[in-house]
Amino acid sequence: TQINELSERLDNAIEISNQGANSMKQALMIGIPVALVVAVILSCWIAIRMTKGILGPIHEIKQNIGYLETGDFSQLNISYHATNELGEIADAMRSMAEKIVFIIEDLGFALNAMANGDFTQKSKNSGAYVGEYQKLMQCLYRLMTGLRTVIQQIDLAATQVSTESEQVSAGAQALSQGT
C-alpha cells in the first residue's frame, strides 16, 4: 500500500513536473523569438547611433578640410569636441587650421607692408613657424633683406647720380658764364 501510494505520489509529481516543463517549453517558444526580435531592434538602434556618432564628426572634419583646400577660411568651424579618437582628430584639425590661417594672415601682413615700402616688419609670432613653415619665414626675411639692399643700392646710386649731375650742372653753368 505504501509503495502504491508512493508510486502515485511520484506519478503525480512527474505529471506536475511534465506540466511545468510543457508550460516552460511554451513560454520559451514564445519568449525566444520575442527576445530575438528585441535584440535585433536594439542592435539596429545601437548601430544607427554609432554610425551617426562616427560619420557626423568625420563629415564635419572632411568638410573643413575642403574649406582649407579651397582657401575659404571664413567657413572653417570644427565644433566637434570629445575625448575619443575622433575628438583628438578634430582637435588636431582645429589646431592645424588655426596655424595655417595665422601663417597666411601673418605673411599677408608682412607682404602688404613690403608693398607699401616697409621692409622692417617682422612676424607677430615667429614661434608659430615650425617645421616646414619655418622655410616660409626664412624666405620672407631673405626677400625683405634682398629688397632692402637693392633699394639702398638704388638710393645710393641715385644720390651719386644727383651729386654728379649737380657737379656737371655747376660745371656747365661755369662754362656758360665763362663763354
Q: Which has more pLDDT, 159 or 125?
A: 159
Distance, in Å, from the CA atom of 87 to the CA atom of 171, rounded to the nearest integer, reads 80
C-alpha cell at 119: 621692409
pLDDT at 177 over 90: no
Per-residue pLDDT, 56: 86
Per-residue pLDDT, 118: 87
pLDDT at 148 over 80: yes
Reported pTM? 0.62
Q: Could you report the per-residue pLDDT of 74-92, keeping only the tens digit for each? A: 888 888 888 888 889 999 9
pLDDT at 112 over 80: yes
Per-residue pLDDT, 91: 92
Q: Measuring CA to CA, how many Å separate 78 from each of 13, 72, 92, 136?
A: 70, 14, 10, 26
Q: Could you report the per-residue pLDDT of 63-77, keeping only the tens digit for each? A: 998 988 898 888 888
Per-residue pLDDT, 153: 92
pLDDT at 39 over 90: yes
pLDDT at 1 over 80: no
Q: Could you report the per-residue pLDDT of 149-171, keeping only the tens digit for each? A: 998 899 899 999 988 888 888 88
Per the listing, cell 651719386 goes with 160
Checking 29-34 for CB contacts under 8 A at 24+ apart, the result is none
Q: Could you report the per-residue pLDDT of 13-22, keeping only the tens digit for each? A: 888 888 888 8
For the chain, the distance separating the N- and C-terminal CA atoms, rounded to the nearest angstrom, is 171
